[in-house]
Amino acid sequence: MIASEYYDLLEASEWHISNLDTFLRELQGGATLKNAGILAEYTPKQIKKIESIYAQFCNDELDEPSIEFIVGFYVSKAVAYRDKRWIGFVEAGGKQASAGMWLLERRVGGEFGAPVQKVQQEIKAGVMYSSVQEAIEATQKKLGIKQIEEQGDYWAKLQTAAALSQELPVLPIEAHPKKDPQP
């Protein structure tokens, strides 16, 4: 995976070819940067450094002829191969598609992140009343219900009585029997 022209440069640095090659292959196979570093026998300090180099490479903050640039380039190339493999799972469909999508969403994020769920708030224009009594009267007119205030009081007393296991209050509304239509 590493071009032979960089062997001597890398071998002379802290990024020995055999370790870096293992790191890149593990990364390409699906390992995280941290796990690939562990498998390549990098120290925690080296793993943090390679994570930093990768971030700098992605943000175009490295000079081209440097060792860090070469490492960043190959790490990003391995990540691209890994992502391409996971995209192949998604495109193939079947059981692997959901696994590939999960990996892309959770491990890669960014362009493959889960869609943001937008919550739309619905604001309704409401009528404001200057008093509770005015609101009750407007509601009675709107719904065509008389004695709404008494009904509200009744339901509140009913719930309290039921909760306290007391005798239930009598409904205060007068019931009018329906008159039979005259033939």
pLDDT category at 181 given cuts 50, 70, 90 is: low
Residue 145 structural domain: 132-163
Residue 153, in any domain of the structure = yes
Residues 168 and 160: beta-carbon distance below 8 Å: no
* Cα distance between residue 27 and residue 21, in whole Å: 10
Return the structure tokens found at 90: 């998604």
Mean pLDDT across 31-35: 86
Residue 88, in any domain of the structure = yes
For the stretch 40-62, pLDDT in tens is: 998 889 888 888 888 888 888 88
Residue 156, in any domain of the structure = yes
Residue 89, in any domain of the structure = yes
| In the predicted structure, residue 118 carries a pLDDT above the cut 60 | no
Residue 172, in any domain of the structure = no
Residues 6+ apart with CB under 8 A from 95: none
Residue 77, in any domain of the structure = yes
**SS3 (DSSP) at 110:** helix
Q: Which of 47, 81, 112 is the last residue of a domain?
A: 112
DSSP 15-31: S-HHHHHHHHHHHHHT-
Query: pTM for the complete prediction?
Result: 0.53
The radius of gyration of the chain's CA atoms, rounded to the nearest angstrom, is 36
Total domain count, the chain: 2
104 and 139 assigned to the same domain = no
For the stretch 147-169, pLDDT in tens is: 766 777 777 788 888 888 888 77
Residue 86, in any domain of the structure = yes
Mean pLDDT across 115-124: 56
* Cα distance between residue 97 and residue 32, in whole Å: 20
Residues 47 and 38: beta-carbon distance below 8 Å: yes
* Cα distance between residue 95 and residue 78, in whole Å: 25
98 and 142 assigned to the same domain = no
pLDDT category at 126 given cuts 50, 70, 90 is: low
Mean pLDDT taken over the chain: 78
* Cα distance between residue 158 and residue 151, in whole Å: 10
